[in-house]
Amino acid sequence: MTHQLIRIFSLIAVLMLPPLPFLWIGWSYIGSPKGFGAILAVLSSYSAWIFAVAAIVQITGYAWRDWFKPPTSQIGARKQQKDKSDHSSEVAVLSITSNIEKRQQEIPHQPREEATFVIVGNLEIGRHHHISVLLKNDNVLIVGGYNNDNTETKILASAEIYHPTSRIFAQHGRMVIRRYFSAATLLGNGAVLITGGAGEKGEALDSAELYIPTTGTFSLVARMTTARRGHTATLLRDGKVLIVGGSDHTGFPTASAEIYDPILNTFKTTGSMNFARLTEHTPNAILLEDGRVMIAGGYDGITGAIASIELYDPGKGIFVDGGNMAMKRACHTLTALSNHRVLIAGGHDDSTVYLSSAEIYDPLEGNVVLTEDMKVPHFHHTATNLLNDQVLLVGGQSPLVELYDPKKNIFTTFGTLTTCRTLHTTIRLRDGRVLVVGGVSGNHSLASVELSPEINI
């Protein structure tokens, strides 16, 4: 404020001081005959001075308001004070942002690479715990499952067909009974056997259906000897189907097994396993090169995940001890390799620790050898044999897709899914590419279907 008063008085001095001698002369002549003329002369001189100052200001571009502005030093001080205040606010915001980013950085996540899979379409409805089967006409049957987002009914009976050549999805009838958590087996005659699963109330089902591709119809067949959900169904060399484990009507895992004969349309009990086990989503049973069936891991309903391996001999109708995996596993995958060995990958142990470890089982020797770890843990994932004998591991809480090379015994990154998913299905198409169907992401049932790029053979 002081600087403004000083400049006001300075302005008055500039305007008044030069005409003062003329005013003094005019004042001395007041009362004389020349006084009036002197005063006019003084006023004329004063006006001329004012106009001269204004002209100078206009020519120099100096604005009158600049006389009343604070000095630059004070402006700078105020600006610094404002900047300091703004900086304090900015620091506070940055501090909050930093804390948020720090918390975000503390959340475990996997680095995303550019997606190499492409969306080829959507199912009629999102589904997980469904079944997908490659038919002999090269089309893919997708049926049943569970939908978290459906307000009318969450358990599905609908079926769809995917045509790989046209990449078109088409509705294709319905099962007789809604079911999820079931098993499907492509029979030698091209029909598909669908067994058990969970019903409307989550109860284990003993019903089975047969899908006939030529008519596109589903029909009930004989009932199984035991109701089961979360079981395995493996096609044997003689065309029969071995159905093993799962949870029965009590809700607990069972050790029982049975054989389906497609010619007689009958289910008949066979020898039981040494351990009851529930396989969850991924079937933990595969056909070996020598015709036996390997069952490994799963839940026993008592201690949790187990490490037990059992081998079923179709000729004798019994299960024998096949040793143990290197660690307890459930929600893992088994994949038969061309050298009669089996890749066991991922899952989680009985403490729900998600596993990135993998091991190779030799059924002839009855032993296992750990491989190098996968890049990320996989569970509730899928493992698909490729035409080049490599194995593609897809999904399981990470979008990262990995490729296992049995010759080099290593895992490499193959790319990423466009959507992270679990409880999905994968099908290797005739051209060698892999179709990824449905699943769940978070608590949302996925309708999207992805296709892998071409895989070098």
pLDDT in tens, 108-126: 344 444 558 999 999 999 9
Evaluate if residue 38 carries a pLDDT over 80: no
Which two tokens mark 82? 């404002």
Task: Please give the average per-residue pLDDT across 275-289, as a whole number.
Answer: 88
Cβ pair 149, 199 in contact under 8 A: no
Q: pLDDT above 90 covers what percent of the chain?
A: 67
Residue with the two structure tokens 């067949």: 221
Burial class (CB in 10 A: 0-12, 13-18, 19+), 45: middle
Model pLDDT, residue 150: 79
In whole angstroms, give the CA distance from residue 163 to residue 202. 32
Task: Please give the average per-residue pLDDT across 367-382, as a whole number.
Answer: 95
**Contact residues for 21 (Cβ-Cβ < 8 A; gap 6+):** none
Task: Please give the average per-residue pLDDT across 438-456, as a whole number.
Answer: 92
CA 55 vs CA 16, 208, 210, 249, 308: distances in Å: 17, 106, 105, 106, 105
- DSSP letter at 135 equals -
Task: Name which residue leads in pLDDT, 212 or 81.
Answer: 212
Q: What's the chain's average pLDDT?
A: 81
Task: Please give the average per-residue pLDDT across 66-81, as a whole number.
Answer: 39
Bridge partners of 415, per DSSP, are 401
Model pLDDT, residue 50: 54
Whole-model pTM: value is: 0.75
Evaluate if residue 65 carries a pLDDT over 70: no
Q: What is the pLDDT of residues 300-357, one digit of tens each?
A: 988 899 999 999 999 999 999 999 999 999 999 999 998 899 999 999 997 778 999 9
Q: pLDDT above 70 covers what percent of the chain?
A: 75
Q: Which helix (H) or strand (E) holds 444?
A: strand 444-445
Task: Please give the average per-residue pLDDT across 214-243, as a whole number.
Answer: 97
**Sheet-wide strand order for 293-296:** 285-287, 293-296, 306-313, 318-329
In whole angstroms, give the CA distance from residue 204 to residue 193. 17
Buried b (16+ CB within 10 A) or exposed e, 81-106: eeeeeeeeeeeeeeeeeeeeeeeeee
Task: Please give the average per-residue pLDDT across 164-179, as a whole number.
Answer: 95
Q: How confident is the model at residue 96 (pLDDT cuts 50, 70, 90)?
A: very low
